[in-house]
A and B are shown apart, each in its own frame.
Chain A
């Protein structure tokens, strides 16, 4: 239901980071900007400034069309386009990914080490979707927080030492703006039983001690005693687990799992035939608001067990449209912008 056009306008001051997230009440199809501070100025000291730029939602993230003052001291404008550092249209409902990376191997080891065919350009802490794996189907279709090992390798928080086979091919792509999905449910990659229970997570999670949490453990993953539906059926009340302590990718909860069936990754064959639903750890508490930071910080919890959800939509202005030609100047300038959602966007 999008039966009305929407035009939104405003202005902002370019921050020193030379990147600005414009939070909007509607996701536009076109974004325009004018640099008021530098408007009409010819180059100075060999540095030219953006005057006008436009971006369109149908283009890849980062694409821009820019008019800039000319470096050669001419008053004429220099118009050009680029595909990185420009405008990115962001909405949680339209998951944004980086370029597709080709996986050539993933080791059956602890941790699983993934090799890509070329430079992956990932850094430690990036969220990466792995899919289309051959030989190691268990890790496919899940988003992981990765640890960079080299330009062509990274590791994920999975113990693959018991897997039947390594992966020989597959694909990966970076999930952009993962903070849209806080408190994001995360796949479980391992569970240690005991008087308290420690859960390894695929992602750097946003849980903090005191949070209420629940688990979904499909039958293929073994430890059904921890599944919330099984607990509710057995006890007549919902699962009530609370986070005691955490590390970046583990959660310890107040559940005595002594004697539980072991948590185990399915075999390759099971993964293929069962069309796996991953084992998951999810937030169960009441919701707070007002948290917009990333990476996840300890939120200002005011309700015991509560979480702080986070979402936004709008347009990211990158340094290609905010910075000068030297790539570092431009902070402090005032940008006037106009965002348009039209009644009709014809595509043919």
Chain B
């Protein structure tokens, strides 16, 4: 049963992520990237845009998600600044690869607090990518290119609120109830929660296109 519960857990977390993504899309202020050279609005994301957004969060006295990593004596690695999170699309990964100031997560001094979806860091922003990130196809202001909605968040800028005093409930109907051969069990989960933006000036929807 362990693989079943693992699968169920993944499905539940994916559902939570989708709900949260949709909520942030509806409620977060927009910043259009403007440091790029593709002539569109927004432009492709650039180090300047990352710096601008981090500065605006700093100015709002936001808390960074993670403290920095000190440099270590490992070839090719570099120290990592204390950072906010940028949640973006896997389709934007090449844009970051092309930045000279981008540090891949595999060039961090260590892997102590990196997770599978972390792609790297630019200045005071650590980048996480997902194929489920929100994309507006053909919606840029000038050329009608795809627009990526990247959430740049500070610690405690948003949160989950459990409803009715409970978190998730596991629903299990053993296989014996499916028939005399007991072939199929039923396993499900339900949860009731909402999301809230706890501090509006600590979160930005950083919209960008891809380089020309």
- Asked if A95 is at the interface (CB within 8 A of a chain B CB), the reply is yes
Q: How far is it, in angstroms, between the C-alpha of A251 and the C-alpha of B115 when the chains are bound?
A: 43
A95 touches B137 (CB 8 A): yes
Chain B contacts for A173, CB-based, 8 A: 138
Which of A185, A232, A275 has the largest count of B CB atoms less than 10 A from its CB? A275
Known contacts A26-B11, A185-B30, A309-B23: does B143 contact A132 (CB below 8 Å)?
A: yes
A233 touches B59 (CB 8 A): yes
Q: How far is it, in angstroms, between the C-alpha of A100 and the C-alpha of B137 when the chains are bound?
A: 12
For A284, the closest partner residue in chain B by CB is B200
B21 touches A92 (CB 8 A): yes
Pick the contact of B200 from A6, A228, A274 — CB < 8 Å? A228
B41 touches A140 (CB 8 A): yes
For B23, the closest partner residue in chain A by CB is A309
Q: Which of A69-77, A118-126, A154-162, A175-183 lies at the binding interface?
A: A175-183
- Asked if A344 is at the interface (CB within 8 A of a chain B CB), the reply is no
Query: Using a Cβ cutoff of 8 Å, how many contacts connect chains A and B?
Result: 153
Which of B15, B130, B194 has the largest count of A CB atoms less than 10 A from its CB? B194
- Asked if B195 is at the interface (CB within 8 A of a chain A CB), the reply is yes
Chain B contacts for A310, CB-based, 8 A: 26
Q: How far is it, in angstroms, between the C-alpha of A282 and the C-alpha of B136 when the chains are bound?
A: 20
Chain B contacts for A59, CB-based, 8 A: none
Known contacts A229-B56, A275-B32: does B41 contact A214 (CB below 8 Å)?
A: no
Known contacts A93-B134, A214-B200: does B142 contact A277 (CB below 8 Å)?
A: no
Contact with A along B16-33 (1 / 0, CB 8 A): 001101110111111111
Contact with A along B56-94 (1 / 0, CB 8 A): 100111000000000000000000000000000000000
B142 touches A180 (CB 8 A): no
- Asked if A280 is at the interface (CB within 8 A of a chain B CB), the reply is yes
Q: How far is it, in angstroms, between the C-alpha of A289 and the C-alpha of B23 when the chains are bound?
A: 11
Contact with B along A200-216 (1 / 0, CB 8 A): 00000000000000101
For A283, the closest partner residue in chain B by CB is B27
Pick the contact of B11 from A6, A184, A228, A276 — CB < 8 Å? A6
Known contacts A2-B131, A275-B32: does B23 contact A287 (CB below 8 Å)?
A: yes
B135 touches A275 (CB 8 A): no
Known contacts A92-B21, A229-B60, A309-B194: does B11 contact A25 (CB below 8 Å)?
A: yes
- Asked if A114 is at the interface (CB within 8 A of a chain B CB), the reply is no
For B29, the closest partner residue in chain A by CB is A216
- Asked if B155 is at the interface (CB within 8 A of a chain A CB), the reply is no
B117 touches A1 (CB 8 A): yes
- Asked if A171 is at the interface (CB within 8 A of a chain B CB), the reply is yes
Interface size class of A (residues with CB under 8 A): 35 or more
B10 touches A4 (CB 8 A): yes
Q: How far is it, in angstroms, between the C-alpha of A97 and the C-alpha of B139 when the chains are bound?
A: 9
Known contacts A2-B132, A4-B10, A229-B60: does B26 contact A132 (CB below 8 Å)?
A: no
B139 touches A95 (CB 8 A): yes
Q: How far is the CB of A140 from chain B (nearest CB, A)?
A: 4
A238 touches B10 (CB 8 A): no
Q: How far is it, in angstroms, between the C-alpha of A261 and the C-alpha of B33 when the chains are bound?
A: 25
- Asked if B199 is at the interface (CB within 8 A of a chain A CB), the reply is yes
Which of A6, A131, A278 has the largest count of B CB atoms less than 10 A from its CB? A131
- Asked if A168 is at the interface (CB within 8 A of a chain B CB), the reply is no
- Asked if B104 is at the interface (CB within 8 A of a chain A CB), the reply is no
Chain B contacts for A26, CB-based, 8 A: 11, 14-15
For A212, the closest partner residue in chain B by CB is B200
Q: How far is the CB of B61 from chain A (nearest CB, A)?
A: 8
Chain A contacts for B174, CB-based, 8 A: none
Interface residues of A (CB under 8 A from B): 1-4, 6, 25-26, 91-95, 97, 100, 129, 131-132, 137, 140-142, 171, 173, 180-185, 214, 216, 228-229, 232-233, 238-239, 274-278, 280, 282-284, 286-289, 307, 309-311, 313
Interface residues of B (CB under 8 A from A): 7, 10-11, 14-15, 18-19, 21-23, 25-34, 40-43, 56, 59-61, 117, 130-144, 161, 163, 194-197, 199-201
Name 22 interchain pairs, CB-CB below 8 A, sorted by A.
Answer: A1-B14, A6-B11, A92-B26, A97-B138, A131-B140, A132-B142, A140-B41, A141-B140, A173-B138, A181-B22, A181-B26, A185-B26, A216-B29, A216-B30, A228-B29, A232-B201, A233-B60, A277-B30, A280-B30, A311-B19, A311-B26, A313-B22
